[in-house]
Amino acid sequence: METIWFFLWALLWTIYFMLDGYDLGIGSLLPFFSKNENERRVMINAMGPFWDGNEVWLVTAGGVTFAAFPKTYAVLFSTLYTPLMILLFALILRGISFEFRGKIDDRRWRRLWDGCLTLGSIVPGFLFGVTFGNLFQGIPIDESGILRGDFFTLLSPYALLSGVLFVFLFVVHGALWLAVMTDEEMHERSLSAARGAWPALVSVLVTFLVSSALTTDLYQNAINRPVLFLFPVLSVVALIATRTFIGMRKPVQAFASSAIVILGTGMFGFTGLYPNMLLSSLNPQFSLTAFNSASSALTLKIMLGITLVVIPIVIAYQSWVHVLFGKKIRLEELKEGESY
């Protein structure tokens, strides 16, 4: 049961990054991409109907961490308290920005909240990367789960590289979603933005994969079970497919390929981490694993039954939302109906 829940935990986090990643990417692009208020409204409405539903997966992943692996949850949120609190406040700032920007018809007021939206998109993307980079590389925690260091201890070169990787993954993903949701000039510029950011993503991803081999043990499980090399290979193949589809002007296929890049990269990290959940860089015996930090077997069985019922409902609901609202956005329609 512990192994099943570890991979459910990993899958939920990866699904969250695949979905909310395009929202965070569009928000990160907002001040650099939009030329006027009309274009900013189009960008915001490209993610407006989806962002809060996508964050359901964040709540679910966090809830699973708490319920299935309570000891890991406790140590994780005390060890990474500062970056996780910054991340939380940034997500709150992003959420209220959607609602507040249209409350007053004033250019400076809207620019203020647009800036908050951008900050609330770039910072979470970067800090998610830093957090998981630390999990992959290891954190200096002792046998009591206490961090032997400070906030700056968490900002290792590998963790910062992971943060940059997440930002570029989300930027390319967001640009492609914007290409799916728009037409004419914005559609063309969205594809151009994704094409322009793609080389940077390639260089960062390759650097991350090489650095993982040099500074972490993420490849050890794959060496023992070569089938796990599927995930880094999948990331590289999907990355090439993303650029190919961009060149062929097929944004839907490019977006799907970008989602697979995130899936492959995330699962590479999680399968390499297994069975560790919070790896101690001081002593491997101090690490928290899926086995020494899990809830009781009965709790895991009950939760698995509930999850097998609830998750398909969430998937069906979100699929319906994307079908219902996943249509090309046109400015004249925004003026007539309810919108951001």
What residues of the chain score a pLDDT lower than 70? Answer: 331-340
pLDDT, tens digit, for every residue of 68-86?
Answer: 999 988 888 888 888 889 9
pLDDT score of 76: 87
pLDDT score of 330: 74
pLDDT score of 143: 83
pLDDT, tens digit, for every residue of 194-246?
Answer: 999 999 999 999 999 899 999 888 898 888 898 888 998 999 999 999 999 99
d(CA 50, CA 152): 34
What is the dihedral sign for C-alpha 96, 99, 101, 103? negative
Helix H segments across 69-183?
70-79, 81-100, 107-137, 157-181
pLDDT score of 336: 53
Beta-strand (E) ranges in the chain? 276-278, 288-289
By the 8 A CB rule, do 132 and 116 touch? no
pLDDT score of 38: 83
d(CA 319, CA 17): 16
pLDDT score of 338: 56
d(CA 69, CA 59): 15
Beta bridge partners of 165: none
By the 8 A CB rule, do 238 and 261 touch? yes
Residue 314: helix, strand or coil by DSSP? helix
pLDDT score of 185: 85
pLDDT score of 340: 62
Residue 139: helix, strand or coil by DSSP? strand
